Amino acid sequence: MSARFVNVDRRTPMLLPPDLREWIEEDDPVHFIIEAVERLPLTSFRVNHRGTGEKQFPPHMMMALLVYCYVQGIFSSRKIERATWRDVAVRYLTADHHPDHDTICKFRRENLDAFRESFLDVLELARELQLLKLGKVSLDGAHYKANASIDQNVTYLRAVEIRERLRADIDELLARAEAEDTQAEEAEKLPGVRSGDWKYLKVGAKENSPEVEIELSEEEKELSRRERKALVKERTKAAQEKQREVEILFNLRDDLGETKNVITEHPDIAERLRKQLAAFGAEFKKTSRSAGIAE
């Protein structure tokens, strides 16, 4: 008898729309976080009440999204954006909406104080329900030497201690999120261009690059000393320029975190974006000269 395997069919579409709740474990913290955040009066969060412009994501959804991802150890706004596509629990939390990383980062920064206090309210509610942890955040006062567990007899001073510790934990989470977003933003300042799912960068090479060695052909060696020197100088300069620049191409559709350089696999796309970047640079220099801005 031959071996039998489960049929893995990725082509046949589902006959019925999936209920994402069936794919999430009952004890997943996403259920608690959604309900806890829905109870909060997020009136202090910035909202466009005029109704102009594009539709905005509800503060409760954005708040729940960030709280869930932070307690799960996901801090980068880019990784959170990717999680809205790849993580079933996150996709359920956002009801299959996908705010981009700029929107996620802006929401946290514009509502930092309100977010911090609401985050604390969520952790306090979890503690009152005698949850020992919410994701990777400890709620039982384990930071302290005291042995008393959280129960109805907890002292007021200890409750204050734990609240302050939770506040400090929140500050650490927010600091890490800000650090990761700032690092990503600094990387975006590199000269580059984006077109659809493709992002092309031209960055400086590492220091201490190996010295350039120029070899002349037999015919070139017959040139005069002055001509040989000029030829070597020209080729050395071109080689050094090439060393100082490294080209990178990212496919953001498959690599939102920008971790894999695929420029060798897609030279045609790289060439198109290279020309586009050069055109942008030329236009910028022309505008700068006309405005009297020094390069």
Residue appearing with tokens 């150890």? 73
Q: Which of 168, 188, 208 is the last residue of a domain?
A: 188
Instruction: Take residue 11 and report the two structure tokens written for it.
Output: 């082509």
| In a domain? residue 11 | no
Q: Is 134 in contact with 123 (CB distance < 8 Å)?
A: yes
DSSP annotation of 75 reads: -
| In a domain? residue 9 | no
Give the Cα separation of 218 and 226 in Å (integer): 16
**102-118 burial by CB neighbour count: b if 16+ within 10 A, else e?**
eebbbbbeebeebbeeb
Beta bridge partners of 43: none
Task: Tell whether 184 and 201 lie within a shared domain.
Answer: no
Higher local confidence (pLDDT), 292 or 213: 213
Instruction: Identify the domain containing residue 45 by its residue range.
Output: 20-188
pLDDT value of residue 205: 47
User: How many residues are given for the chain?
Assistant: 295
> What count of other Cβ atoms lies within 10 Å of the Cβ of residue 4?
6
| In a domain? residue 81 | yes
Among the listed ranges 30-34, 82-86, 244-248, which one has the minimum average pLDDT value? Answer: 244-248
| In a domain? residue 256 | yes
Instruction: Count how many domains the chain has.
Output: 2
Among the listed ranges 133-147, 187-201, 271-285, which one has the minimum average pLDDT value? Answer: 133-147
| pLDDT of 7 strictly over 60 | yes
Strand blocks (E) in 60-154:
133-134, 137-138
Task: Tell whether 97 and 30 lie within a shared domain.
Answer: yes
DSSP annotation of 21 reads: G
Question: pTM to 2 decimals?
Answer: 0.62
Task: Tell whether 236 and 265 lie within a shared domain.
Answer: yes
β-pairing, 137-138 vs 133-134, is antiparallel
| In a domain? residue 170 | yes
| pLDDT of 288 strictly over 50 | no
| In a domain? residue 8 | no
